[in-house]
A and B are shown apart, each in its own frame.
Chain A
Amino acid sequence: MKQLVVIGNGMAGVACIEQILKHEPKFEITVFGDETHVNYNRILLSSVLAGEKDMDDITLNGLDWYQQNGIGLQLGVRIVDIDPDGRTVTGDDGSITEYDKLLIATGSSAFIPNIPGINKKNVFTFRSLDDTKGLIERSRPGMKATVIGGGLLGLEAARGLQVQGCDVTVVHLTPTLMDKQLDVVGGAYVKSKMERLGVRVMCGKSTRALLGNGKVEGLEFIDGETIDADLVVIAAGIRPNVTLGLKAGLEINRGIIVNDHMETSHPDIFAVGECVEHRGTTYGLVAPLYEQGKILAATITGNKGPTYEGTVQAAKLKVAGVDVFSAGDYDEHSIPGTEVVRYEDAALGIYKKLTLRDGRLAGVILVGDISDSGRYMEWLRARTDLTVMRRSLLFPEPVVAAGDPGVGVAEMADGETVCGCLGVTKGAIISAIHENGINTFARLKECTRASTGCGSCAGLCQSLLKAVAPEFEEETKKVLCGCLPFSQEQLREIAKTQRLKSVQDILDIYGNGIGCEVCKPALSYMVDVIWCGDHEEDRSARFINDRVHANIQKDGTFSVIPRIRGGITSAAELRKIADVADKYKVPMVKITGSQRIDLLGVKKADLPKMWADLGMISGQAYTKGVRMVKTCVGTDYCRFGTQDSTAAGIELEARLENLFTPHKVKMATVGCPRNCAEATVKDIGMVGQEGSWQVVVGGAAGKSVRKADLLITAETTPEAIEACELFFQYYRENGNYLERTYDFVERIGMEKIRKETVYAPEPVRKKLLARLRKAKMLSKDAWLERDTPVSPTQFVQIQPMEAVLA
């Protein structure tokens, strides 16, 4: 068997090997990689930096893949020389390896500008897994991080560092961010979006020197301005790695020159990926690598025929809140006769521009809404004549039969890319469905890898499945509402992985941008719980009760229920409540079923004054949150009490109060199995017995009546309270909005709940509790807004500035 040696274990080299394996005759393959990792997805490094993915998650081909295909893998060995006549390569470990065919896939390196001080400590590039590891290890919350270079990679690095908690500045040489992909207007949109995310952007800034003594401390620009920096990332572009090509005597310009068959100037040596130059172009994106690899595989195995014609360059930047797509030649001034179609909505941050030549698409820029990128890409590839579509270039044709999932996907050509991250086409998905009998989305992801990158094509993949798979099994998901085509579970995942912290961002990016009374409160809850209260609160997305922290009544007045932990009050407190009821002429004072006192019929404008006079905290009786812990008399006075239910109840309420939950949470603690406070029909209950507590969950005595299930029997009160907390946080994180615990426990199943809460491994329990503690720490008594209202008119009725004549 002939020997094939591949220099470079990156995406291009390995993707090309995958193609070569499909051809005959077979080679004996040896791969050299100077990194010590198996082949990984370099485009997802930013997701690793942003903490969305672990390093292991981005592995493309694990060691078993190399073994199964009989490929020799030499990791950590850098090839330093090629002898094209003797047909050998020399490694930096002194090894000499013979080859019959040689494939150079050395990729590119970060371009390091010649700036004094560039070798100081804490100056990084952002190209490899090791770079990323270094950045994660070195970055600390509050650290000042500066990224030199506002291109695609620089902005991704900036966002990743920001998620690590750094205070990030992007410094860019030209006046326009991403100037390789965007025009001036598009660059300005991206700049303002980055700034909205909290990243400082400085354009038109040339760095003269990196300052600091040994360790970097700041940057000095040519205009004399200086800024502080504890950490600097260089993302000033990439340069093809051509040194080995030079040593082998290959024809080189910017990259190793290859022809349309991907041959270099030497018959036994081939090259692929970012290190090559084809028809005067070098590439730095992933799609061309795959296309080149296919052609090269045919050529190198003696099946020469297909040719590489170059790739329409397309770039997609996908970081939270900033969606950018750019492809082709979008510069209307580059060739006379170019026409421009443009759409702008500054308030929504949407910018779309198409350039047309001879009735065909020449280039496209999309900012803020990239939902049509697939269609434009296809028009570019196929050079579609757009004359008849001229009036609707920026808007999709109206869908004929709404509700038919096949329509959108049916329009797509087979060659059109569905998953941009992993380069999976519609055709590939369809044949995978047929060949492997795929009938679930999970299996589709497993087999094709589609939708395992950024996940934005999930909807499209599912529609394809629905349309093509004979026995499509809809996963147990229900779309929240018509505004967003996702289940609550998917939305939680999206908000988490895309680091979305506001309702409007989720609606803008993944929904119709508008939202309704169903999704807005649900999303409000989600961002609160996912970020443990460290989210961007948007009161307009809340129901009125959560805007004014009181329960609206049928006549538009409100009710006030202060918190009385465990139902234990005092004469002084009761007197105060009575005084407040008198002062504000409260029409009805009622003892509630929750051992609390309700003041009904209160005017909105009186709410803050009443809260101040009461001097008590909110009882959250108006919201989906912690209602109360009802208690029985317990051991203090009761003849039968076996556990101190009042103390335990007060403690439990204090620990959980002010937090929000998918639906209201009512709790109770009782000192003996006589169950006087009805703990077995509460969302969470603690039932005392001699020597232990039974912790029960999922009970109800409202519209549904359900006896709670036993979660665990705990020997001590702290253990019992911790079990309540574990379940409480688990329900917060996994319950759907408006799903009561009695539905939740039936949907998930008690066995699974126990396994993932009280019986979970210690680190899992610790993390659950840590998130609960963080949320608790950031929570506060809503009634404090009496002193610091979120808007000057939060509680008031506006008085017209001009009196009106009657």
Chain B
Amino acid sequence: MSWIRITEIENIPVREGRAVKIDRDEIAVFNLGDRFAAIENRCPHSGGPLCDGIVSGATVICPLHGWKVCLDTGDILKPQVPVRVEVYPVRVSGGVLEVDVPERQPMEDRRRGVAA
């Protein structure tokens, strides 16, 4: 695990998300007003860019078909399906958003791991 400096926090408007490419993985970072959150930028339904969704409290709604994803747990809240997206720890240091991403395993392998 390692913390990666992403961007100055001003670059993410309040209640909006942005995509960040880290290695081969794409992560969606969100500014929730009082804190930040980071999840995998891929809706488990049909791969929609979650960073482009409308934020509602601590959830984001996928812009393609309206799946609702919890930004704290990665659970899908609507519809209720037993899949989830990856959630990454975040912190702000010196006005810069940092995300903790696992170093080795690429995301695809982990997802398969979860499904199995």
Instruction: Assess whether B47 is interfacial by the CB under 8 Å rule.
Output: yes
CB proximity of B43 to chain A, nearest CB, Å: 10
Contact B53 A556 (CB under 8 A): no
For residue A115, which residues in chain B have a CB less than 8 angstroms away from its CB? none
Separation of A245 and B26 alpha carbons in the complex (Å): 80
List the 3 closest pairs (A to B, CB-CB), nearest first: A540-B15, A544-B52, A517-B61
Give the residue of B13, B15, B54, B57 whose beta carbon is less than 8 angstroms from that of A543.
B54
For residue B107, which residues in chain A have a CB less than 8 angstroms away from its CB? none
For residue B101, which residues in chain A have a CB less than 8 angstroms away from its CB? 804
What 0/1 pattern do residues 794 to 806 of A give for CB contact below 8 A with B? 0001111110111
With contacts A798-B6, A799-B21, A801-B7 known, what are 6 further pairs, Cβ within 8 A? A540-B15, A541-B15, A543-B63, A800-B7, A804-B22, A804-B23
Instruction: Assess whether A402 is interfacial by the CB under 8 Å rule.
Output: no
Residue of B nearest to A516 (CB): B56
Interface residues of B in 1-44 (CB under 8 A from A): 4-7, 10-16, 18-23, 29, 33-34
Contact A798 B23 (CB under 8 A): no
**Size of interface on A: residues with Cβ below 8 Å to B:** 31
Query: Known interface pairs A554-B64, A798-B7, A800-B20. Does A539 touch B13 (Cβ–Cβ under 8 Å)?
Result: yes
Contact A801 B61 (CB under 8 A): no
Instruction: Assess whether A520 is interfacial by the CB under 8 Å rule.
Output: yes
For residue B33, which residues in chain A have a CB less than 8 angstroms away from its CB? 347
Separation of A515 and B32 alpha carbons in the complex (Å): 13
Separation of A540 and B48 alpha carbons in the complex (Å): 18
Contact B34 A347 (CB under 8 A): yes
Contact B18 A540 (CB under 8 A): no
Separation of A598 and B47 alpha carbons in the complex (Å): 23
For residue A515, which residues in chain B have a CB less than 8 angstroms away from its CB? 56
CB proximity of B17 to chain A, nearest CB, Å: 9
Query: Known interface pairs A793-B12, A797-B18. Does A541 touch B54 (Cβ–Cβ under 8 Å)?
Result: yes
For residue B15, which residues in chain A have a CB less than 8 angstroms away from its CB? 540-541
CB proximity of A173 to chain B, nearest CB, Å: 35
A-B contact pairs, 16 of them (CB 8 A): A514-B56, A516-B54, A520-B56, A521-B54, A544-B53, A547-B16, A552-B63, A556-B47, A791-B16, A792-B11, A793-B13, A798-B20, A800-B5, A800-B6, A804-B4, A804-B101
Instruction: Assess whether A555 is interfacial by the CB under 8 Å rule.
Output: yes
For residue A555, which residues in chain B have a CB less than 8 angstroms away from its CB? 47
Residue of B nearest to A557 (CB): B49
Instruction: Assess whether B46 is interfacial by the CB under 8 Å rule.
Output: yes
> Which B residues form the contact surface with A (CB < 8 A)?
4-7, 10-16, 18-23, 29, 33-34, 46-49, 52-57, 61, 63-64, 66, 96, 101, 103
CB proximity of A435 to chain B, nearest CB, Å: 44
Separation of A804 and B20 alpha carbons in the complex (Å): 12
Greatest chain A CB density within 10 A among B5, B15, B103 is at B15
Number of A-B residue pairs, CB cutoff 8 Å, is: 91
CB proximity of A64 to chain B, nearest CB, Å: 51
> Which A residues form the contact surface with B (CB < 8 A)?
347, 514-517, 520-521, 539-544, 547, 552, 554-556, 790-793, 797-802, 804-806
Separation of A552 and B52 alpha carbons in the complex (Å): 9
CB proximity of A508 to chain B, nearest CB, Å: 12
Contact B47 A801 (CB under 8 A): no
Contact A544 B4 (CB under 8 A): no
For residue A539, which residues in chain B have a CB less than 8 angstroms away from its CB? 13, 16
CB proximity of A368 to chain B, nearest CB, Å: 15
Contact A802 B5 (CB under 8 A): yes
CB proximity of B41 to chain A, nearest CB, Å: 9
Contact A517 B66 (CB under 8 A): yes
For residue A514, which residues in chain B have a CB less than 8 angstroms away from its CB? 56-57
Residue of B nearest to A538 (CB): B15
Contact A540 B55 (CB under 8 A): yes
Contact B11 A791 (CB under 8 A): yes
CB proximity of A555 to chain B, nearest CB, Å: 7
Separation of A709 and B75 alpha carbons in the complex (Å): 48
Contact A798 B61 (CB under 8 A): no
CB proximity of B12 to chain A, nearest CB, Å: 7
Contact A800 B22 (CB under 8 A): yes
Query: Known interface pairs A520-B54, A806-B23. Does A791 touch B64 (Cβ–Cβ under 8 Å)?
Result: no
For residue B7, which residues in chain A have a CB less than 8 angstroms away from its CB? 793, 798-801
CB proximity of B71 to chain A, nearest CB, Å: 13
Residue of A nearest to B2 (CB): A804
Residue of B nearest to A483 (CB): B56
Separation of A318 and B21 alpha carbons in the complex (Å): 47
Contact A793 B63 (CB under 8 A): no
Residue of B nearest to A558 (CB): B52
CB proximity of B88 to chain A, nearest CB, Å: 12
Contact B63 A544 (CB under 8 A): yes
CB proximity of B21 to chain A, nearest CB, Å: 6
Separation of A543 and B53 alpha carbons in the complex (Å): 7
For residue B5, which residues in chain A have a CB less than 8 angstroms away from its CB? 800-802
CB proximity of B80 to chain A, nearest CB, Å: 17
For residue B54, which residues in chain A have a CB less than 8 angstroms away from its CB? 516-517, 520-521, 540-543
For residue A800, which residues in chain B have a CB less than 8 angstroms away from its CB? 4-7, 20-22
Contact B4 A540 (CB under 8 A): no
Separation of A544 and B64 alpha carbons in the complex (Å): 10
For residue A804, which residues in chain B have a CB less than 8 angstroms away from its CB? 4, 22-23, 101
For residue B66, which residues in chain A have a CB less than 8 angstroms away from its CB? 517
Residue of B nearest to A806 (CB): B23
Separation of A541 and B52 alpha carbons in the complex (Å): 12
For residue B4, which residues in chain A have a CB less than 8 angstroms away from its CB? 800, 802, 804
Contact B22 A540 (CB under 8 A): no
For residue B46, which residues in chain A have a CB less than 8 angstroms away from its CB? 554
Contact B47 A793 (CB under 8 A): no
Separation of A790 and B22 alpha carbons in the complex (Å): 25
For residue B21, which residues in chain A have a CB less than 8 angstroms away from its CB? 797, 799-800
For residue B14, which residues in chain A have a CB less than 8 angstroms away from its CB? 540
For residue B47, which residues in chain A have a CB less than 8 angstroms away from its CB? 555-556
Residue of B nearest to A791 (CB): B13
Give the residue of A541, A556, A797 whose beta carbon is less than 8 angstroms from that of B48.
A556
Separation of A801 and B33 alpha carbons in the complex (Å): 22
Separation of A806 and B12 alpha carbons in the complex (Å): 26
Separation of A521 and B53 alpha carbons in the complex (Å): 12
Contact B11 A793 (CB under 8 A): yes
Separation of A377 and B73 alpha carbons in the complex (Å): 41
Residue of B nearest to A548 (CB): B52
Greatest chain B CB density within 10 A among A517, A792, A799, A802 is at A517
CB proximity of A580 to chain B, nearest CB, Å: 23
For residue B10, which residues in chain A have a CB less than 8 angstroms away from its CB? 792
Residue of B nearest to A504 (CB): B15
Separation of A46 and B101 alpha carbons in the complex (Å): 56
Separation of A806 and B101 alpha carbons in the complex (Å): 12
